[in-house]
Structure 1
Amino acid sequence: MKRLIPLFGAAALAACSPATDGTFPRAGIVPLPHAKMLVLDTHIDTPLHFTRQGWDFAERHDLATDLSQIDIPRMKDGNLDGGFFAIYTDQGPLTAQGYADALAFARTRSDLIDSVIAANADSIAPALTAADARRLEKNGKLIAFKSMENSYPLGEDLKLLDEFYKRGVRLAGPVHSKNNQFADSATDKPRWNGLSPLGKQWVAEMNRLGIAIDASHASDAAFDQLLDLSRYPILLSHSSLRSAYDHARNLDEGRLRKLAAKGGAMCISTIYMSEMNLSPERADLFGKYEHMDAMSPAEQADFIRRWHDLDKRESMWAADFETYMKMVLLAIEVAGVDHICFGADWDGGGGLKGIEDITALPKITDRLRAAGYSDADIEKMWSGNILRVVAAQGQ
């Protein structure tokens, strides 16, 4: 999810005390048993920071002075072993020029992910299969899958899916915040009443190549058709539960049960658990957030200061960690431990008070254990269910 930026706290989370009081671990200290688990997230938007002047994925960034939620040191702090780094492309016009511009952007973003991962090869490596992820974790490496948020850059040429498969994409969604050539969006007026004819061909090509289908952002009708047409289980990479907060982006309990019945999983996000307070000042900042790479370090610092000043005056969400965990526990009750996973939408809109960045992940494990879930079941939700769906595609 884009243009929804996290509600950051005023102090660096990594400096808080460890887990007996329910707060965050100190830098470098991960409470057991969370540290023993393979932990993945299915929707990481951090690539939008990769081209910022002066910003380095290998360096620790502080929420008091930055807006990013993920970097390599904090991945280790929160025991986030890796996940799907998103090639996100904003929705543009459904024209030949629109498609060409989007394709150029998506290729550049894909190359950027590759170059940053390669530059940090001592810490993180690309993964193409579930077996790759397990091997990298065993060898002490962080894991970088690639995903495609919005298939708009493909235009009307489904042969381009093969190109992105060869580029390493193993999870892709047809649509984002507006209808496109493949499907209706959850947040737009219906055009196709689900998938377009080309969208149905997209499903078949995804299945043929072995790329997992991501139904986050798809309309209810598009979700139903994706689930019905796909020969393999599908994921929702970053979605919340509609019974926790009634929003079109969220999945209702009936559809979550249908997803589970076909072997899929919903990776739970931290967004849309309340009405969003999108004030004019917040909207102005949102519009500039995705263009921080065009700012000098001094301009970035001023932008970040303005962001934090606004956070002190008003909250974007009327939700927090407790709200989030109530929703997580309800979703598990509805779908079962074999069909829940996590995709908080880090650096793309995710984060709430009490779960502001990835150093908070051990708190989720602690709360699930307190609710009576076994470590084996919790690890299924952190990674096992994701890797099972990836492997089911022939990967």
Structure 2
Amino acid sequence: MKTAVRVLACCVALACAVPGLATEVSEQAKALHERLLVLDTHLDTPANLPRPGWNVLDDHTAERDFSQVDLPRMREGGLDGGFWAIYTGQGDRSPEANLAARDHGLVRLAAIREMVAANPQQFELALTADDAQRIAAAGKRVVYISMENATPLATDPSLLTAYYRLGLRMLGITHLRNNEFGDSANTPPEWNGLSPAGKALVAEANRLGIVLDASHASDLVFDDLLELSRAPIVLSHSGADAIYEHPRNIDDERLRKLAAKGGVIQVNAYGGYLKDTSTTPERSKALEALEEKYGDQEHMDAATVARFLAERDAIDARYPPVRADFDDFLKHLLHIIEVAGPEHVGIGADWDGGGGVDGMEDITDLPRITQALLDAGYSEQQIAGIWGGNVLRVLRETERVAASLDGGAKKDVPAHAH
């Protein structure tokens, strides 16, 4: 959820906390949370980097500005870092749209690297599974780079090598529509899974050492990835179909198959995938008009954001939204842990991309998850896996597979970068 209207879920969550949902986080949970390496596998925060006046070093807690992640809140919420997404909206797949996607992806990649380069005492680029602990121990925030929607590669799939050498370590195949590589979960099938180009992309990602991500992809793409990939795969931000049936969620049978192949599902906190938050036609029409009026959030300065939110508040007053809460998120998380096992689960909340629920509005609320996992009886070791160890295990195995496949491109990349 990346355009102005589709980030409304994020804004609603930020603006409408429900105090009754708050559960006290114990000193034990706080201390455990601080000890753990805490990673999130889907941070859409790079969308904020080009916004006029927005700075990742500033504390945006008191502001409603489409922002849930910044350095002060990372410290407060104990978020050590994660996978910062190169998100590209799916165009119409014309040559012009694909060239625009190619350029957009490279610009977003450069923005992430520029954030790191401009703040070397606060952030560091992570290139291997072992880098995360070292970076966090040095008091810096961990920046892995991921790609949500492979359409920037449509004009030239060989660009994947360049992306790898510049830091890409996770690759999502599709977003809300089908593309040259495979079918989306949200649209009727075109390829019935991966396309021939998508299958070739899987092989190349394995060779390079890039984790494959099935979030947003169709079930048949998931099946193809699981069958074809030589390394385990992930779902970087998904939910449980058994709790709320939705094309973006995954059924229990596939959860078990994912676990059997060593993969990991990172549980999202996007309300529309947690429960039925469908709205009235009148609200939908009003939100569409709001989007048409203001366009993409990436180009809004603070004054424009304030006007947008005032108009959105008026829409909310006329047509109250349905929202998910922390308990809805926990239902998905605990069910998935029970089905897949705690060694195959993590957190990918979709921060700054629509994630956030009542009772967990931004990353300062992350210790609540640790408390909930303790309350559910999970051990410190299991919780450590959920907060980062499990996805790093997948990345480490992906590195091993790449090393076994004609050397990959790893030898061309330094052990770490600042």
Mark yes or no: TM-score above 0.5: yes
Match of 2:2 in 1: 2
The root-mean-square deviation of aligned C-alpha atoms, in Å, is: 2.3
User: How far apart in 1 are the matches of 2:59 and 2:17?
Assistant: 11
* Secondary structure of 2:257's aligned partner: helix
SS at match of 2:346: strand
Aligned length: 387
- The amino acid across from 1:215 in the alignment is A
CA 63–217 in structure 1, closer or farther in 2 if over 3 Å, else same: farther
Distance in 1 between residues matched to 2:314 and 2:82, nearest whole Å: 31
CA displacement at 1:31 relative to structure 2 = 2.0
Higher alpha-carbon deviation: 301-310 or 101-110: 301-310
C-alpha spacing 1:179/1:10, structure 2 compared with 1 (3 Å): closer
Counterpart of 1:73 in structure 2 is: 72
> What displacement does 1:310 show?
4.0
Match of 2:332 in 1: 327
Change (3 A) 1:290 1:373: farther
Q: How do 1:249-268 and structure 2 match up within 5 A?
A: 249-268=248-267
- Partner of 2:13, secondary structure, is coil
Tell me the distance in 2 between the aligned counterparts of 1:289 and 1:225.
39
Secondary structure in 1 matching 2:130: helix
Aligned to 1:274: 275
- Between 378-387 and 117-126, the greater mean CA deviation after superposition: 117-126
CA distance in 2, matches of 1:258, 1:33: 31
Consecutive unaligned residues of structure 1, counting only runs of 5 or more, are none
Q: Deviations over 1:104-135 (max 9, x none)?
A: 11111111111112222211111011111111
**Structure 1 counterpart of 2:132:** 133
Q: 2:306 aligns to what?
A: 301
1:308–1:384 distance in 2 versus 1, CA, 3 Å: farther
Aligned to 2:394, the other structure's residue is in SS state helix
SS at structure 2 position matched to 1:377: helix
- Residues 25 and 371 in structure 2, CA contact (< 8 A), matched pair in contact too: no
Deviates more, 1:271-280 or 1:110-119: 271-280
Q: How does 1:1-40 map to 2 (within 5 A)?
A: 1-3=1-3, 4-5=6-7, 6=10, 7-10=12-15, 22-23=23-24, 31-40=30-39
Residue in 1 aligned with 2:56?
57
Aligned-partner Cα distance in 2 for 1:105–1:57: 20
Alpha-carbon distance, 1:313 to partner: 5.3
Shift of 1:148: 0.5
1:91: how far off? 0.4
Take 2:25 and 2:121, find their aligned partners in 1: how far apart are those partners? Answer: 26
For residues 314 and 392 of structure 1, do their structure 2 counterparts lie closer, same or farther at Cα, with a shift above 3 Å needed?
farther
Does the 8 A contact of 2:325 with 2:357 survive in 1?
Answer: yes
Is contact 2:44-2:351 (8 Å) kept?
yes
Aligned to 1:371: 376
1:292 to 297, 301, 307: 297
Deviation (angstroms), 1:391 = 0.8
How far the C-alpha of 1:284 sits from its partner, in A, is 3.8
Q: Using structure 1 for the length normalisation, give the TM-score.
A: 0.92
Alpha-carbon offset, residue 166 of structure 1: 1.2
Aligned to 2:412: none
Task: Give yes or no for contact 2:209–2:399 (8 Å, CA) kept in 1.
Answer: yes
Q: Which runs of 5+ in 2 are unaligned?
A: 401-418
Q: Decide whether aligned partners of structure 1 residues 236 and 135 sit closer, same or farther in structure 2, where only a CA change above 3 A counts.
A: same
C-alpha contact 2:323 2:357 (8 A) present in aligned 1: no
Give the % identical residues: 46
Q: For 1:138-166, what per-residue CA distance to the aligned partner results, in whole angstroms no more than 9, with x for missing partners?
A: 11111011000011111142211101111
The amino acid that maps onto 1:384 is: G
